[in-house]
Amino acid sequence: MSATVPASGTGIAWGPALLFCPADRPDRFAKAAERADAVILDLEDAVAPERKARARAALRAERLDPTRTIVRVNAVGSPEFEADLEAVVGTDYRTVMLAKTESPAQVARLGGFEVVALCETARGVVAAPEIAAVPAVRALMWGAEDLLASLGGTSSRAGDGGYRDVARAARSAVLLAAGAHGKAAIDAVHLDIADLDGLAAEAADATASGFSATACIHPGQVGTIRAAYRPGPGQVAWAREVLAAASDQPGVFRHKDQMVDEPVLRQARTVLARFGEQD
C-alpha cells in the first residue's frame, strides 16, 4: 500500500520539546499536547504487540491539533506497517515519523505525508544524506538504542553516562545530512528520566550544534529541554551588540577582542531568532 492523502501544507508547529506518547494511551493524549511543543503519538516501540490494534483505534478516535502532532509508524516491511498507514490515512494527521528509515524508497511509501525520517540503524545512518534529499522529508531524527542493537552492541553509553563514539558519530552524521539539505534535525531521547542535569547538558549541546528540537519520553523533561534551547541573557546581549556594531562596520571587524565576520553574524541572528527577536 502507498498512501496518497491531501497535502495540508501546514506541517507541525515546531518547538524544541517533542514528547512521545504511547498511542494506546488516549488518556494521556491531551496532557501530552498541553505540556509539549509537539506530540509524537507512537504506534511502534511504546505499544506492545497485542495492543497495536487498540492503539490504531485510539489514533482514529481521539483528535489532537494536526499541526502539532506526529504519528510514529512501524518500519516498512514490518507486520504492522500497512495497518498503521491505513489508520493514519483515516485521520487529520499529515506528519508521520517513519521508524527505522533506511532508504528513499521507504519514504516513498508514505506518499502525501510530511515525513520525519528516524535514522536509527546502521543502514539508516549511512543513507541519511540520500534520505534527507527527499522533498517529503521535513526532518531527520536519530536513535541511539536501535542503532547499537543493529550493530550488535549492548549499550549506547559508556560508564560515565556519555555516548560512545559510534553513537556520537551517528548523531553528527544525521545532523550534517539534515543541514546539508535544509531540513530540521531532532536529537534523540534521554532515557534516564531522573537525570535532568544530563538531559540539560545534552539539550544545550544540541541547540548549540544546530539541532532544532530534542525528543523526550516524559512530561517532566519538557521544561529542561525548553530552558536549554532558549538563549540566556548573556547570549542575547552578545547577539544584539554584535549585530548593532555590524551596522556601522562593513566587512570583518573586531568587537571586544572577537573577530566578527558573516558566519558570526549568522550565529547572532540565530540566537535572536530563538529568543523570539528578529534583528
d(CA 33, CA 271): 26
Closest CA to 225 of 193, 196, 183: 196
Structure-block grid coordinates of residue 67: 499541526
Angle at 37 between CA 35 and CA 43, to 5 degrees: 85
160 a known binding residue?
Answer: no
Q: Which residue has the cell 488516549?
A: 26
Quick check: 207 and 185 in contact, CB under 8 A? no
Closest CA to 182 of 226, 227, 219, 134: 134
Torsion of Cα atoms, 141 then 145 then 147 then 149, to 10° = -160
Residues in a beta bridge with 69 = 39
The residues, any chain, with a CB within 8 Å of residue 208's CB and separated by 6 or more, are none
Structure-block grid coordinates of residue 224: 529542561
d(CA 49, CA 166): 30
Structure-block grid coordinates of residue 144: 541511539
120 a known binding residue?
Answer: yes
CA 127 from centre of chain: 17
- The 3-class SS string of 97-128 reads EECCCCCHHHHHCCCCCEEEEEECCHHHHHCH
72 a known binding residue?
Answer: yes
Which residues define the annotated binding site for substrate?
A: 72, 120
Which residues define the annotated binding site for Mg(2+)?
A: 120, 146
Which residues define the annotated binding site?
A: 72, 120, 146
